Amino acid sequence: MTLFGHKTHRCGMLGLSTRLSLNWDKAAMEWWQRLSIYPPRKELQQRNFKMSLKMKKIARKCPYITRLLDIIEPRDINNFKDVYLVVEFMSADLKKIIKSDISLTEDHVKVIIYNILLGIRWLSLAKVLHRDIKPANILIDDDCHIRICDFGLARSYDSMRPDPNRYHEIIQKQINAQQSIILDDGIRPQTVDPLLKRKITSTILDNSKKERSSVKRKLSDHVVTRWYRPPEIILVEKEYSSEADIWGVGCIFAELLQRIQSQTQPANEVNRKTDALFPGKSCFPLSPDKNARRVNTRRNSGHPLNLNQQQSNGHYAKKSYPVTDQDQLKMIIDLLGTPGPDDISFITDDSALGYMQEYGINIKAVDLQKRFPQASSGAIDLLRQMIQFNPYLRANAEECIYHPYFDKIRVSEILDTIMPRVVQLQIDNDEVRLSIDEMKQIIIQEIEFFKLKRLQQGIKHIESIYVIPDSTI
């Protein structure tokens, strides 16, 4: 099979080729997206326009993001309101795959998640947060190539001050310094000691709580589709980083693991029902249940959760919070168990800590191996690292990619060559306000770029996509 004239690679997805369209060239030209010109007085619409333009430039060299192939020139270039974009066509998205009757092997799941992580790595190195990672936003073809799409909630933070990623970097530097001491003693750890990481992380976050709580919010709080929303966004933290996207990938990973068919299991006996990992029906305070109880009636609650012994002397206001069995946070705690002091050290809002007290103590974590019996121990270990409650303890994209689970398909030399550049535009600054005429002029420049490309290369200009290098699969 060919994709835009280039031979494709990687693990072929069994069963997909008979179900999905293979007419790539025609479909690519027929799938158009519409981009409206918004009134420039609205800040959010200004930001969306700038982010859309930036992502189109970032994606030109990225093999894991939907790439803009062309722009349809309006009939009247001097008077238009709508723009139609031609983008890459992919036959399906992961939501359709997960809800279908297709059975997967663990190799399929491994390649899919690995490719998604490569996309998240690219975005994080380009200092972009997607902020809506979910199955419907991961496009896929029958060779397990993926494209991350829908950047409507994405945000670039390369020019944001303070950098929301700064404490991740501080913690990592401290861990590296501690490891250097260990190396000097002749003991070479294979991986970072999780206890050491927890200790350093908790200490740094506790000492920086006042500074982090006083930061002016620059990142939106109501982002990410509910089932894939991480704790730091649920608890309305002012700062978050690409680990929020990793949480979403972990949730997708859990859904794909349910599609695995064992070698001894007949295809007609595979469990066709796939459940979301955290299928909440409400999410206080972002989208609360209006009928939620104002008191805690959970059977295992007993006493309030003592989140921080140093602040247990009435520091938290005595206030009732809505509690529902279908709340998103409740779903997370019921699976991961009651978060300990290290797990909640990232929280800066005392009200958020008070709200967590409503969910009780001594809730034991679910055994993920029993929850996903078809998955290997390596898959379970990776999943556990991707859905850590504390984002500072959660594995980042680089750590996930170098997890032993991917040892057979990872090629480090290729990773070193697939590096993005941080795209900076003159219009990036939020203080730059564009008029409608200025927006149109920017779009006309992009139209002229593709127009010249068509004149030079003809229809083959859509074939010059980034070819994903060979892997060991």
**317 exposure class (CB count in 10 Å sphere: 0-12, 13-18, 19+):** exposed
Average pLDDT over residues 315-330: 70
Residue 276 one-letter amino acid: A
Q: On the CB side of 222, how many CA atoms lie within 13 Å of its CA?
A: 7
Give me the residue label for tokens 């380009």.
126
pLDDT classification of 286: cutoffs 50, 70, 90: confident
Lowest-confidence region among 65-79, 190-204, 238-252:
65-79
Question: 308 and 223 share a domain?
Answer: yes
Question: What digits encode the pLDDT tens for the residues 323-359?
Answer: 788 899 999 999 999 999 999 999 998 888 888 877 7
- Name 378's bridge partners: none
Instruction: Give the model's pLDDT for residue 314.
Output: 37
Question: 179 and 61 share a domain?
Answer: no
107 is catalytic: no
**417, 435, 452 - which closes a domain:** 417
Among 159, 32, 140, smallest CA distance to 86 is for 32
Say how many C-beta atoms besides its own lie within 10 A of residue 412's C-beta: 8
Number of domains in the chain: 2
Mapping DSSP to helix (H, G, I), strand (E, B) and coil, where does residue 12 land? coil
Q: In the chain, pLDDT over 70 holds for what percent of residues?
A: 70
> Buried b vs exposed e over 155-193: b needs ≥16 C-beta within 10 Å?
bbbeeeeeebbebbebbbebbeebbeeeeeeeeeeeeee
Question: 245 and 131 share a domain?
Answer: no
Q: Is residue 80 part of a domain?
A: yes
Instruction: Give the model's pLDDT for residue 139.
Output: 93
Instruction: Give the model's pLDDT for residue 466.
Output: 38
Instruction: Give the model's pLDDT for residue 71.
Output: 79
pLDDT classification of 251: cutoffs 50, 70, 90: very high
Average pLDDT over residues 27-42: 41
Question: 214 and 326 share a domain?
Answer: yes
pTM for this prediction: 0.81
Question: 203 and 100 share a domain?
Answer: no
Question: What digits encode the pLDDT tens for the residues 451-470?
Answer: 887 787 766 665 554 333 43
Helix residue ranges per DSSP H, 258-339: 328-336
Question: 235 and 113 share a domain?
Answer: no
Q: Contact 201/341 with Cβ under 8 angstroms?
A: no
Instruction: Give the model's pLDDT for residue 159.
Output: 79
Question: 47 and 134 share a domain?
Answer: yes
pLDDT score of 227 more than 70:
yes
Highest mean predicted confidence (pLDDT) among 72-76, 89-93, 108-112, 268-272: 108-112
pLDDT classification of 374: cutoffs 50, 70, 90: very high
**DSSP assignment, residue 4?**
T
Instruction: Give the model's pLDDT for residue 247.
Output: 98
Q: Is residue 470 part of a domain?
A: no
Lowest-confidence region among 4-8, 138-142, 348-352, 395-399:
4-8
Residue 66's domain comprises: 2-118+120-151+427-463
| Whole-Å CA distances, 439 to 106, 159, 258, 286 | 47, 21, 46, 32
Lowest-confidence region among 128-142, 249-263, 442-456:
442-456
Candidate list 70, 93, 132, 143, residue with the active-site label: 132
Mean pLDDT score across all residues of the chain: 76
Question: 448 and 323 share a domain?
Answer: no
Q: On the CB side of 93, how many CA atoms lie within 13 Å of its CA?
A: 13
